[in-house]
Every structure is written in structure tokens, then in C-alpha cells.
Structure 1
């Protein structure tokens, strides 16, 4: 069992000292998977964990609890991401680990899925999917990943080392009916991350992706119960915890994954394999 960090608590799978003396940045760190990753990095010895989120109240709550630093960012804003990474490297002297967990779904599409299920009618999301909703999902999930990858690799290249983990989704493979924009955005995350991985490794920077199935987070809590039940029934294990995903992400970011480059790690409770 790893050493406890104030506000973190015990976790049987923590690896003491795995990230000793490293500086980390976690986007989407104010809640869900990102918050679980930030807590685990702190518990495993990170010298500084920078918790970045669009919701500063959430970021500060997580950061204060585990002795990290809260920072504001909208990952859809390229200039804001560049400023975030520059600020971290300026304040901390370096950047060793970046976990990009920020992302959005579409509650309106989920409501339409529920409506169709209750009425016994075919799902009809696409015809009502406006440009604004499409762009919101793509700008945060895909554009945001590009912004973070670009800034992270720029910051890590001069030192010749670093690890970046992006968060995709099993929905990129096992696409959910009525969720085309989300599936497309996450498929883009996978392809983008793998392409960058092949380029960045020449400079000593490892890039990998985790592809969760359903995870029990605040985002999942917005899923209507009937839709959630159907998603949960599709896997052997059901909904994962945010800590389950943090374990997978921290492995990819750790020295133990030194030979893992451009992987898309399925962490979906046995929903399917590829």
C-alpha cells in the first residue's frame, strides 16, 4: 500500500515513489477521471501536481486537498492551453507528465436516446444535431486534444523526455447509436494521439491513450437511468470507477510503460476487444 497524501486516502494499488520528484499537469483535473489521476500522482510521489480545469472551484478543491496547484484552462482555446503549459514550466522548471482528461459529452443527445427508448421508436439524433452541438463536442474533445498535445510536446522536447496520456473512449470502436459526434471526436483523439506518438518518440516523449468504457463520474450521472442500465449490461464488469481508470492512466505515464508508445489501452470491463 502506498503512502497516504492529505486529502487522498489509502488506495491498495498505489505504487509508492513511482512518480517521485516529477512535475505533472492534469487537464479536467477538477472532477471524475482527472481528479482521480491527480490524487494518484500525488500519492505516488509527484513533486507538483497541477490541476487544470475550466471550473476553478473544482480545480481548487482537488488541488488543496492533495497539496497541488489549481490552474484555469479552456482546452478548446489554443492560446489558453499554451499559456497554461508555459506557466507550469515557468513555475516548476519542467514538465514530466501530462494527462489530458478534459472532455465533454452531449446531455441533449442522451435525453433524445431516452425519449426514443421510452416511446419504442428508432433513435433520431442525427437529423436534430445542429452545428453548434457538433462543434462544441469536437472543439473540446478533438481540438482540445490537439492543443494539449502540441503544447506538451513543445515543452518536453528540450529535455528529451516526458509522458503524455490522452483519454479517448471505447465509443470510438463500439459506437453508440445516437452519439455520432462523440464517437467521431474520440476516434479522432485516438488517431491524432497515435500519429503524434510516432513523431514525438524521436524526441524522447511517449504518447499513449486510454479508452474507457462507462465510468461512474459526474458526466455519467447525467445519463438517463434506462440508457445507463443498457450500457452497463453490455460489459462483464459494469461501470468502472474513476480510480480504475486512474490506475490504467498512471501505468501508461509511468516508467513501467517505457516501451509502450502509441497504444490505445482498452479499459472497458470486457465490453469488447479489438
Structure 2
């Protein structure tokens, strides 16, 4: 395993080349950019995202767009998409998005910038999304203020798949367990209270808070059967009995219970929000 510090692109390249990381690389959409983007568009995660965004496509802003899989999916749904990504990388950054757009004939505007200071006027986007991004923010309140500034009144704002810790004592265990943090050192997590405060103080209303197993947005590509098994294992020697007891229980109930007891460092949360209209 590499010992030298890497940038994000190098860490992803290592993940893609390491046989033991093959499943993680595919789950993270690090494989062929066109194949990955098309697969994400057809994923259970994006199907759930589709149910949370306006039916009428308009202007969408994808913050921290990475290699462009969400930008691509939104554009294929008819949205006029602007992707904001600070990393110029041809593998995991702005250049990758431009290549994806060119190879697939998908119109995506790309801006190279950090989410805390986006060089756009108050553009009035109908949809602002940030997938796996808020936990990387250098200034979380400033990032959320930019989300609010660039959205129109009544707009939908989504933050997806952000890492959560219960407190400072959980941050180190999370970073130690993360498969790529030791390579590039760029991971982070905030408490639920920190996310809520930053979002609400920016002038956004939280409509739904989806914790870990409450939505496929968070647990994809994990399956419902795997979640049932994880919940049963919590009970140690009583797992076989619990597993049997859970078998007839609707998955929605199982998911809510699993989310309520989930205290893992780095568990995921997503927020569905909207921007306040004028009183």
C-alpha cells in the first residue's frame, strides 16, 4: 500500500488499480466515466433523488460535482446544468466533466471554483445539489450561504450523502477507518447539529432529514437484505432470533429502526431543503 501523501486524483487512481478495492471503486463510480455516469443515472440512488426534485426541469447547480455523474444525470432529465468543481483533474474533476459532456453530447457548463466562493452573481437556480460535498467544506456556514445565495426563492436544495459524527471523539476513528483518507488526507465529518445550523442560518428550511438507512440515497449500493442482516448482528448471540423476527417486518420499518440505532462514525445523512420565499 502506498505510504507517500497523495492528492485526490492519485488516491482514486490507486483505488482503481488495487484489486482489493475493485468493488469500492465501482460503488464510488470511479470506473469508465461514461459507463459510471450512465450507471448512476439508472441507479436506485438517483431514482430517489428524482423523486425529491421538481418535476419541471429548470436550471440546476451541482456543487462539488467531482467527475460529473450527478450533473450528467440531471442534464439527461432535461435540466440546464452548471457544474462547480475546484479540482481541475481529468479523472475526478472539472476536466473529467468536460470530457464526459463531450463524449456523451450532454450540455454541462463547468466552473472551477470552491463552494464557499462561487464566481456567479445571484443566478436564481431552481435546484441546487451537493452530493458528498458539505463534509469537505473548509467553511460549512459559508458553503451553505452560497447555496442559498445562488438559488431562487422557493428553490429546492439537496445535500446528499454527508458524513456524520456524534461528536469530536468520533472523528479520529472515522478518519482512521476511511479507505482513502490515509492516502490523501482530505476527509472530514460534522455533527448533525452543525449541518442543521449551517443550513438554517443560511436561510434555508429543512423539509426532510434522511439519516443513514432511512433512504436509499444514503445506503445505495447496499441492499435491503444487507441492512436487515446488519441490524440483526447488533444483537450478538441473539442475532438468529432477531433475524427470524425481522423477516416478516416491512423494510420501511426495519430501515427506520436501523437508522435510529446507527451511531457509526461517518454514517451518512441527506437533507431536502427549500429557500424561504418573501413573507
Superposition TM-score tier, normalisation by shorter sequence? 0.3 to 0.5
Q: What TM-score comes out, normalization by structure 1 length?
A: 0.45
Q: What TM-score comes out, normalization by structure 2 length?
A: 0.44
